[in-house]
Amino acid sequence: MENQTVNEGKTAAIIAYITIFGTIIAYILNAGKKNSFASFHIRQMIGLFLLSMVNKYVVYDMLGATAGWIFGVFLFFLWIVGFIGAIQGEEKEAPFVGEYFQKWFAGI
């Protein structure tokens, strides 16, 4: 990816990983002049947020607290991978699910 594209979108990409409110702010910042680097990380974070909601409302309720905790640790690992990628200026997909996030949320 071009260095200029990364530099222009890096702030929004990092902000996207700071809770769902950061993702919303990053989306708004990226709405005017679309930056492919920022859009990549916004899509990753939207997917991680939705998985965390599935964990909270489905896994905990159906499989119990232990399964929910284990899945939560896995989600935290995915978040760390994405956050470090944003800081380093790399488009690192979340393992196992990142490519799906890019397809599902391609309009962002």
Q: Name which of 39, 17, 44 is nearest 27 in CA terms.
A: 39
Q: Is 66 exposed, middle or buried (0-12, 13-18, 19+ CB in 10 A)?
A: exposed
Span 46-64, pLDDT tens digits: 999 999 999 999 999 999 9
Span 2-47, pLDDT tens digits: 788 898 999 999 999 999 999 999 999 999 889 999 999 999 999 9
Cα 44 to Cα 30: distance, rounded to the nearest angstrom: 14
Give the side-chain half-sphere CA count within 13 A for 17.
Answer: 22
Cβ atoms of residues 15 and 77 within 8 Å: no
